[in-house]
Amino acid sequence: MSTKPPSGTRDFLPDDIRRREHVIGVVRDVYERYGFEPLETPAFENIETLLGKYGEEGNKLIFKILKRGEHEASGEADLALRYDLTVPLARVVAQYQSELPRFFKRYQIQPVWRADRPARGRFREFYQCDLDTIGTTSPLVEAEQMTAVAEILTRLGFADFVIRINHRAILTLLLAKATLPAAQHGDALVALDKIDKIGRDGVAKEMADRGISDAGSSALLNWIGSGARPDWLDWLERELDAAEHPAFLNLRQILDVARNTAAGERLRFDPSLARGLSYYTGAIMEIAVPDLAGSLGGGGRYDNLVGMFLGRDLPACGFSLGLERLIVVMMERGMFPASVVRGGLDVMVTIWNHDTRDASLALATDLRKAGLRVELYPEADKIGKQFKYASARHVPFVAILGDDERARGEVAIKNLHSGEQTAVSRADAAAFVKSRLDG
């Protein structure tokens, strides 16, 4: 029997968890200060809640659960594992609408599951950190979400990220002005979305392969594929003769509000940004860093999805940070503070011999009362063996209560890093360790 975790999933050992908790702690703190409140939903949903929400490809990647655990014969599935955090949110908004505030701002940090082919950095179980605002079309929403995300990335130590921003209705306008028939819009967006990976010529070839006319393809690549330009939004607005177009107005409002925030200097208008999910209706955003092919997160406005559950449309906008990618980049760049992975213990109490066991237990109790993380060696083992164990666990301090120390009402505290050993009075042991840990 294999003892590995299932394909595409991971076990998180203590150091992994500490890194994850570090990132989640920053995300949660910032989300809360921006007025978002926590929500959690079940790991699985009724299967009909998820089917048909993620496109044909997405449908295939949904993990389906056999009914009542007993229908092995019929193979009937009635539940499915959460595929993202947005569809469950839409269901929650419909279910609890009378209890929720008019503007519902929630964050949700939970795993999702996709039956994808596992690959480097692609997992079947991974965490998303979502924040969404339901109930208003105000451009403050997009600005606030981007600001929160920019603050998180800055606090985590990212100095080189940009927030790419575009608008779904600008894309639609571009496709119409390029005289593409509506049936080809999806194909064209899929091709354009790859421009960072396959370049301008690659996109031209893919559009030709998909039957898009040369004229249409050239027009699109003229507007989109010519590389970043500082005045891209102004230039495109003139090219398209679209100064009064609501999408340009909306985007300018968002940029205007965001200008004086932490997101301001990070923002880049980029009309090649398409974002896969079909439910977006307004502004769309994505976080890019130079050394990652994909994005660290993204989001956008989706004013119709909640309506699929509620029966009437409710405006909504959200942003999702990918925890696994944040951690991958932070690991590769060595961005985790030493304190995060320094280990989970402050001090280990040894047991000198069987008769001193109770005294050691009492000392461990006192150290724990003082808030220290304390390992009590479980057996009256050879003292050398106990020290060896403490070193292997990376415990910074070891407390020794031998017969001599006890006779003098003292404890010997050994700093395993420096090797220095200090005798302190029993009553001062906790304060001594705490002061040395802080120093």
Q: Kindly tell me which residue out of 56, 98, 102, 338 binds a second copy, with binding defined by CB under 8 A.
A: 102
CB of 107 or CB of 161, closer to a second copy: 107
Q: Does 382 bind a second copy (CB under 8 A)?
A: no
CB of 102 or CB of 120, closer to a second copy: 102
Q: Does 420 bind a second copy (CB under 8 A)?
A: no
The residues with which 163 forms a beta bridge, in sequence order, are 267, 287
Which residue bears the tokens 């939903």? 41
| Structural tokens at position 229 | 């330009």
State how far the Cα of 147 lies from the Cα of 130, in Å rounded to an integer: 14
Least Cβ distance, residue 369 to a second copy (angstroms) = 9
Least Cβ distance, residue 219 to a second copy (angstroms) = 37
DSSP state of 118: P
State how far the Cα of 249 lies from the Cα of 165, in Å rounded to an integer: 14
Q: Does 79 bind a second copy (CB under 8 A)?
A: yes
State how far the Cα of 23 lies from the Cα of 25, in Å rounded to an integer: 5
x-or-dash string of contact with a second copy, 290-309, rule CB under 8 A: -------------------x
Q: Is the distance from CB of 313 to CB of 303 less than 8 angstroms?
A: yes
- Residues 306-345 interacting with a second copy (rule: CB under 8 A): 309, 344-345
Which residue bears the tokens 């609501």? 246
CB of 223 or CB of 336, closer to a second copy: 336
User: In this structure, are strands 316-322 and 125-134 parallel, antiparallel, or unpaired?
Assistant: antiparallel
Q: Is the distance from CB of 276 to CB of 193 less than 8 angstroms?
A: yes
x-or-dash string of contact with a second copy, 23-42, rule CB under 8 A: ---------xxxx-xxxxxx
Radius of gyration of the chain (CA): 28
Q: Does 6 bind a second copy (CB under 8 A)?
A: yes
Q: Centre a 10 Å sphere on the Cβ of residue 214 and count the other Cβ atoms it contains.
A: 10
State how far the Cα of 245 lies from the Cα of 154, in Å rounded to an integer: 34
Q: Does 376 bind a second copy (CB under 8 A)?
A: yes
- Residues 207-246 interacting with a second copy (rule: CB under 8 A): none
Q: Does 353 bind a second copy (CB under 8 A)?
A: no
- Residues 244-283 interacting with a second copy (rule: CB under 8 A): 257, 260-261
Q: Does 140 bind a second copy (CB under 8 A)?
A: yes
Q: Does 49 bind a second copy (CB under 8 A)?
A: yes
DSSP reduced 3-state for 110: strand
- Residues 148-207 interacting with a second copy (rule: CB under 8 A): none
| Structural tokens at position 392 | 């292997």
CB of 66 or CB of 190, closer to a second copy: 66
Q: Does 73 bind a second copy (CB under 8 A)?
A: yes
CB of 70 or CB of 241, closer to a second copy: 70
Q: Which residues contact 191 (CB under 8 A, 6 or more apart)?
A: 203, 206, 207, 210, 212
Least Cβ distance, residue 431 to a second copy (angstroms) = 16
Q: Kindly tell me which residue out of 24, 55, 65, 190 binds a second copy, with binding defined by CB under 8 A.
A: 65
Helix (H) or strand (E) holding 317: strand 316-322
Q: Is the distance from CB of 263 to CB of 252 less than 8 angstroms?
A: no
The one segment of 220-228, 240-248, 322-330, 353-361 that binds a second copy by CB under 8 A? 353-361
Least Cβ distance, residue 198 to a second copy (angstroms) = 29
DSSP reduced 3-state for 38: strand
- Residues 106-125 interacting with a second copy (rule: CB under 8 A): 106, 111, 113, 115, 125
CB of 165 or CB of 367, closer to a second copy: 367
State how far the Cα of 198 lies from the Cα of 181, in Å rounded to an integer: 24
